[in-house]
Chain A
């Protein structure tokens, strides 16, 4: 990471001046992240690839609106996410994120028994299915927080909202996720009243 901000700022500056090759450097640096963001939204490799390519082209056209000195990463993530979400609106189907085969590996780190491990595997599968059933916006806010480990300020930038709104959006997404989980996973109806705010 060391040295990147300076180099990045310079590349952004050169790209803004019309240096397409400098922009190509930025594309190469961020396309991995952009691909993950788009994939979380679309759940399809080919849709994600199209969204990423289109988002990078659009981001180049929007560089004149990028504030000098601001963080490029969340700014770009916002464009990628918007592109992927807009494309997905025309395709009415659930996402199909998949998890790598994790033989015997539970969702939680400590599982006391083989029965527990089997249950955790089942839970993990149910959780993934529930995540796939969410609206892309909800899936994205969950991914930003728990999968990409974004700080609240960065999430706000990436989501185009005030930092104070991040928590409530995340909370609502988690509530909707819980509603998508089968009763066998959610312990009790009374639990529904609890607000999960991390």
Chain B
């Protein structure tokens, strides 16, 4: 292209763009139809309620207060009357419909403590799995903290992403393991095959947080506080690949045996490092 004569540069640029288009690595997004259909069906049911009729548009940008109150009342009425049996998808759909995703609806003491909803739901972790299943499908060795105080993960998820097979281990908050805001998750461990690059990490975090080098049993890593939104990793082709940070928490990320391991947790650096050193 640089060898082109000035007059042909426009055409060369167009040709280069067309060629580039064939190489863009579009992500394999999951099937959204169940979520969309679920939300629409739930919306239709809520609209059918006498006082739900006000909520005519799905997820309006601004909820008038009374609409919101009426809609919450509708959910409470449904919960109490047992009209709807809420599957996790339906519950998420209801929350989406009301614009409440990420907010808890507290009804007395029963709802928050009831183990209704998987911890990892809504964190975009992929398909629920088990440790042995994940080990069989990952194609790399999954490292699991062996710290006896932590115990085994409460939930395991597997997801095909830009970073290959991504495995997530979810640990429920408990005494000594505080919860990340609004999730009930004390520690989220995510693993995938990618490399770390110091420059990528510092650039991604920018002014919104602090990055400090950290080593886990001699392996290069970083401790990031200030709730970063996403980090970049080095993909197989050397390209920077972003991945979203799921919890509003601190991050410890390091590379070990060709695998990048990321901890997201409200734990302090020392506590996170202690657990990190126990991975086997």
In contact, B32 and A20 (Cβ under 8 angstroms): no
Within 8 Å of chain B (Cβ to Cβ): is A159? no
In contact, B6 and A190 (Cβ under 8 angstroms): yes
User: A174 CA to B17 CA in the complex, in Å?
Assistant: 10
- Provided the pairs A97-B24, A143-B21, A174-B10 are in contact, do residues A53 and B35 lie with their beta carbons within 8 angstroms? yes
Interface string of B150-178 (1 = CB under 8 A from A): 00000000000110000000000000000
Interface string of A36-62 (1 = CB under 8 A from B): 100110011110110011101110110
For the A-B complex with A53-B39, A146-B21 known, give 12 more contacts whose Cβ atoms are closer than 8 Å. Answer: A24-B36, A27-B37, A35-B26, A49-B30, A57-B58, A61-B57, A108-B1, A108-B15, A119-B3, A123-B2, A190-B6, A194-B7
In contact, A100 and B6 (Cβ under 8 angstroms): no
User: A35 CA to B161 CA in the complex, in Å?
Assistant: 14
Interface string of A171-198 (1 = CB under 8 A from B): 0001001100000111110110010101
Within 8 Å of chain A (Cβ to Cβ): is B64? no
In contact, B2 and A124 (Cβ under 8 angstroms): no
- Provided the pairs A57-B58, A108-B12, A187-B6 are in contact, do residues A99 and B239 lie with their beta carbons within 8 angstroms? yes
Q: What chain A residues lie within 8 Å of B19 (beta carbons)?
A: 106-109, 124
Within 8 Å of chain B (Cβ to Cβ): is A79? no
In contact, A124 and B40 (Cβ under 8 angstroms): no
Return the chain A residue nearest B56 by Cβ.
A61
- Provided the pairs A96-B232, A174-B10, A190-B6 are in contact, do residues A27 and B16 lie with their beta carbons within 8 angstroms? no
Within 8 Å of chain A (Cβ to Cβ): is B238? yes
Counting chain B residues whose Cβ lies within 8 A of the other chain, the interface size class is 35 or more
User: A105 CA to B23 CA in the complex, in Å?
Assistant: 10
Q: List 18 contacting pairs A-B, 8 Å CB cutoff, sorted by A.
A: A24-B33, A24-B37, A52-B32, A53-B35, A56-B32, A61-B57, A61-B58, A96-B232, A100-B24, A101-B239, A107-B16, A108-B16, A108-B19, A123-B1, A124-B23, A147-B18, A174-B10, A198-B14
Interface of B (DSSP majority class): mixed
Neighbour of A46 across the interface among B2, B20, B26, B124, CB < 8 A: B124
Counting chain A residues whose Cβ lies within 8 A of the other chain, the interface size class is 35 or more
Within 8 Å of chain B (Cβ to Cβ): is A127? yes
Within 8 Å of chain B (Cβ to Cβ): is A23? yes
- Provided the pairs A45-B162, A98-B239, A123-B1 are in contact, do residues A57 and B39 lie with their beta carbons within 8 angstroms? yes
- Provided the pairs A98-B240, A99-B20, A194-B6 are in contact, do residues A177 and B37 lie with their beta carbons within 8 angstroms? no
Q: State the B residues within 8 Å of A (CB).
A: 1-7, 9-10, 12-21, 23-27, 29-37, 39-41, 44, 57-59, 124, 161-162, 229-230, 232, 235-242, 244
User: A184 CA to B1 CA in the complex, in Å?
Assistant: 10
- Provided the pairs A53-B36, A57-B58, A98-B235 are in contact, do residues A186 and B25 lie with their beta carbons within 8 angstroms? no
Shortest CB distance A65–B (Å): 13
Within 8 Å of chain B (Cβ to Cβ): is A18? yes
Q: What chain A residues lie within 8 Å of B6 (beta carbons)?
A: 187-188, 190-191, 194
Return the chain A residue nearest B244 by Cβ.
A46
In contact, B27 and A107 (Cβ under 8 angstroms): no
Q: State the A residues within 8 Å of B (CB).
A: 18, 20-21, 23-24, 27-28, 31-32, 35-36, 39-40, 43-46, 48-49, 52-54, 56-58, 60-61, 91, 96-102, 105-109, 116, 119-120, 123-124, 127-128, 131, 142-143, 146-148, 174, 177-178, 184-188, 190-191, 194, 196, 198
In contact, A31 and B13 (Cβ under 8 angstroms): no
- Provided the pairs A24-B36, A127-B16, A174-B10 are in contact, do residues A100 and B23 lie with their beta carbons within 8 angstroms? yes
Q: What chain A residues lie within 8 Å of B18 (beta carbons)?
A: 146-147
User: A56 CA to B93 CA in the complex, in Å?
Assistant: 14
In contact, B21 and A101 (Cβ under 8 angstroms): no
Neighbour of A27 across the interface among B12, B15, B33, CB < 8 A: B33
- Provided the pairs A107-B16, A124-B16, A146-B17 are in contact, do residues A99 and B23 lie with their beta carbons within 8 angstroms? yes
